[in-house]
Amino acid sequence: MTKREFDHCDLELGAVVCAHVAARAHKILQAVRTEPLEKADSGWQLLCNSGLEEKVEDAKIWTIREVLDLEPSLIDWVDAPVGTTLWRPTASEPWQEWKDHAK
């Protein structure tokens, strides 16, 4: 992982990781930051967006540090505000911020 100063996000905070990513069966293709539910929660949810069924009870909790070890391309986004949704069509493409165009 690249060394970088983080403004807001503690790298030891938890993130929800879908079971497919946690098992290394799929890459992270979607990242959503919601309001944290507790002090140890970063609010980040990392998903494979594969179309496979996602069961909440199968999700894993990783630290942000563990997420960045697996997916260093998220390093510039970890301090993004609540409400941020990132996606990419494939793991080799850059992250794009999802914008709600219906407003």
Report the pLDDT value the prediction gives residue 102, as an integer from 0 to 100: 44
Per-domain residue ranges of the chain: 14-90
Q: pLDDT tens digit string along 26-70?
A: 999 999 999 999 999 999 999 999 888 888 899 999 999 999 999
pTM above 0.95, yes or no: no
Q: What is the 3-state secondary structure (H, E, C) of 14-71?
A: EEEECHHHHCCCCCCCEEEECCCCCCCEEEEEEECCCCCCCCHHHCEEEEHHHHHHHC
